[in-house]
């Protein structure tokens, strides 16, 4: 029997949720709402949908392997050079590409826990060791993370905002951390939810791109842009970092429809603004309702709420039976996507019944 290396066997596979239709069939329910994957509840920009429709007849052609138009649009929007942008099949793929590019067997990467699970999976997949530092007040403890760096450390991962807690690291603490990180370490910032952030003290990472530090920023079109089903993300870094990652990136890794839809989405700021407003209104409502119930939650800068609860799986299963799909986060917390007004209201009513409030 053929076996993979031991470090591969040690990886816990990502467990996706079942399709909503299958859950409804199994449970004998209908009209479920999905508040589990932090998707944009209003969907994609109409301009993005139109761009897809206009180009369906080109599906017999391979996509632009260089992503010329999308990289050009991103460079203009972000005030960076095109050669400082790399495209990926979602930012997930780029996290994996970065690990394969800069790590090898025995190397270490520092990250927080709990945080985005793909960080540790990507490091383990190349034989590396994930050094996981507990959150402090539900937030990345950047000082402790910097202190955990050793001679074997090659990368430092920061999710800002953090998934699953929705917290952010602010400018002052980020700059203090950067001063402590050696120049030969790659600081990886996952900013999948950055467009939702309203805190003016949020660390705007692109301003640090051309310092002595090696910074790699990942963003996605899956969240506020509403293109999760197309799997399109991007990275921003110095030219040499991007060049090295392109050595490991698969050809044609982003599809034609994703590229075209992403360009159109970038050119529709009204959709982004509307999405953010819907999220802020939902956040205000959920805060108010949970406060009235005396339920503790973690204030968020993203499009989801992290709610510590006892017997999280029981809460999850109880909500599921009422057609409300959320995400259990271990034994003592749940994560709930902020949805449309009627979805948020339905979650609150179901949560009241499940928790006996």
What does the pLDDT profile of the chain (357 residues) look like in tens digits? 888 888 788 877 777 766 788 777 877 887 899 999 999 999 999 999 999 999 999 999 999 999 999 999 999 999 999 999 999 999 999 999 999 999 999 999 999 999 999 999 999 999 999 999 999 999 999 999 999 999 999 999 999 999 999 999 999 999 999 999 999 999 999 999 999 999 999 998 999 998 888 999 999 999 999 999 999 999 999 999 999 999 999 999 999 999 999 999 999 999 999 999 999 999 999 999 999 999 999 999 999 999 999 999 999 999 999 999 999 999 999 999 999 999 999 999 999 999 876
Looking at residue 357, what is its pLDDT?
66
Residue 166: name the closest of 270, 306, 318, 11 by CA.
306
DSSP state of 88: E
Buried b (16+ CB within 10 A) or exposed e, 93-110: bbbbbbbbbbbeeebbbb
Q: Is the Cβ–Cβ distance between 323 and 29 less than 8 Å?
A: yes
Here the tokens at position 263 are 């360009």
Cα distance between residue 35 and residue 209, in whole Å: 34
Tell me what pLDDT residue 35 has: 97
Query: What is the Cα–Cα distance from 244 to 89, expressed in whole angstroms?
Result: 17
CATH number for the segment(s) 6-43+270-355: 3.90.1150.10
- With beta carbons less than 8 A apart as the criterion, state whether 93 and 253 touch: yes
| Encoded tokens for 152 | 């074997």
Distance CA 210, CA 195 (A): 22
What's the token pair of residue 183? Answer: 């120049």
Residues 234 and 95: beta-carbon distance below 8 Å: no
- For the chain, the domains span 6-43+270-355, 46-266
Question: What pTM value is reported for the model?
Answer: 0.94
- Under a CB-based contact definition with an 8 Å cutoff, are residues 216 and 187 in contact? yes
Is 6-43+270-355's fold the same as 46-266's? no
Q: How far apart are CA 185 and CA 147, in angstroms?
A: 13
Q: What is the pLDDT of residue 30?
A: 78
Strand ranges, E, within 9-102: 33-34, 85-88
Question: In CATH, which of 3.40.1260.20, 1.20.1090.10, 1.10.357.10, 3.40.640.10 is domain 46-266?
Answer: 3.40.640.10
């Amino acid at each position: 029997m053929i076996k993979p290396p031991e470090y591969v066997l040690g990886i816990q596979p990502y467990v996706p949720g079942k399709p909503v239709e299958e859950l409804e069939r199994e449970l004998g329910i209908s009209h479920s709402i999905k508040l589990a994957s932090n998707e944009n509840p209003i969907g994609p920009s109409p301009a993005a949908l139109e761009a897809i429709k206009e180009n369906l007849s080109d599906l017999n052609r391979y996509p632009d392997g260089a992503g010329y138009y999308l990289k050009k649009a991103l460079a203009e929007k972000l005030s960076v050079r095109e050669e400082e942008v790399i495209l990926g099949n979602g930012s997930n793929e780029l996290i994996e590409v970065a690990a394969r590019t800069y790590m090898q067997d025995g190397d270490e990467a520092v990250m927080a826990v709990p945080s985005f699970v793909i960080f540790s999976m990507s490091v383990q997949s190349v034989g590396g060791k994930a050094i996981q530092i507990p959150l402090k007040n539900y937030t990345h403890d950047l000082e402790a993370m910097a202190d955990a760096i050793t001679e074997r450390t090659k990368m430092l991962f920061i999710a800002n905002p953090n998934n699953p807690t929705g917290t952010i690291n602010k400018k002052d603490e980020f700059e203090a951390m950067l001063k402590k990180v050696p120049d030969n370490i790659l600081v990886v910032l996952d900013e999948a939810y950055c467009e939702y952030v309203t805190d003016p003290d949020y660390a705007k990472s692109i301003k640090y791109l051309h310092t002595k530090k090696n910074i790699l920023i990942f963003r996605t079109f899956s969240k506020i842009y509403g293109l999760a089903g197309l799997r399109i993300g991007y990275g921003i870094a110095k030219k040499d970092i991007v060049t090295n990652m392109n050595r490991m990136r698969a050809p044609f890794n982003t599809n034609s429809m994703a590229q075209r839809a992403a360009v159109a989405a970038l050119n529709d700021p009204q959709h982004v603004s509307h999405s953010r407003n819907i999220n802020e209104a939902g956040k205000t409502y959920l805060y108010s309702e949970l406060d009235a119930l005396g339920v503790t939650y973690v204030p968020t800068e993203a499009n989801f709420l992290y709610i510590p609860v006892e017997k999280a799986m029981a809460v999850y299963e109880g909500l599921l039976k009422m057609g409300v799909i959320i995400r259990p986060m271990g034994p003592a917390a749940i994560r709930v996507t902020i949805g449309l007004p009627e979805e948020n209201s339905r979650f609150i009513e179901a949560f009241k019944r499940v928790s006996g409030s």
